[in-house]
Amino acid sequence: MIKNGWYVITGSYFVTLFLASWMYTAITKLPIDQHRDVSGLVLGSVMVVIPYIVGGLYAGIAHKRGATRAAVWIGILPAIAEKVLIFLIGSCYVIMEGSPITWENVMMFVSAEAVPYYTNAYLLTFPLSVLVCVATAACVHVVTRSKG
């Protein structure tokens, strides 16, 4: 069941990224690659929270016993894997460009060409994502237990 939670977070990650990018462009009338500091902050804030709320809802509903423990495992793998995979994909593109692989080259490429929210600060947010997942699962568990 934990593996299903990973699928839930991953699916909601892509839906959230698509909708947040579309809404940012619709509201500001700017593409997400202009004013990267603003678009990165908006998209990054959404991406740190929304998929993990969905994962926490899944953990709280699907795991009647140990919902918070399940939420930790449901949240931790996608939170770390997403950041690592984006970095590795960016590294491949930096290699193909013929540039040396340095932290700065990869981070600049990824934030400029792919995801403007991918910054050093965003990389440090994985504990916050897991905390959001666990807190949501705990809230769902408390609400469902009080109703039943």
Cα distance between residue 110 and residue 105, in whole Å: 9
| pLDDT for residue 142 | 83
Cα distance between residue 13 and residue 51, in whole Å: 5
φ, ψ at 13 (rounded to 5°): -60, -50
Residue 148 scores a pLDDT above 60: no
What is the CB neighbour count within 10 angstroms for residue 104?
8
Tell me the pLDDT band of 24, cut-offs 50, 70 and 90.
very high
Pick the closest to residue 59 from 146, 135, 145 (CA basis): 135
Residues in Cβ contact with 87 at an 8 Å cutoff, skipping those fewer than 6 apart: 106, 110
CA 69 to chain centre: 19
Tell me which residue has tokens 């804030």. Answer: 45
Residue 41 scores a pLDDT above 80: yes
What is the CB neighbour count within 10 angstroms for residue 105?
17
Q: Which domain holds residue 83?
A: 2-147
Domain count along the chain = 1
Burial of 93 (C-beta count, 10 Å sphere; 0-12/13-18/19+)? middle
Residue 2 scores a pLDDT above 90: no
Residue 117 scores a pLDDT above 60: yes
| pLDDT for residue 32 | 85
| pLDDT for residue 146 | 67
Pinpoint the alpha helices (H) of the chain.
2-28, 36-62, 67-97, 103-113, 120-123, 126-147
Question: Cβ(55)–Cβ(134) under 8 Å?
Answer: no
Report yes or no on whether pTM surpasses 0.95.
Answer: no
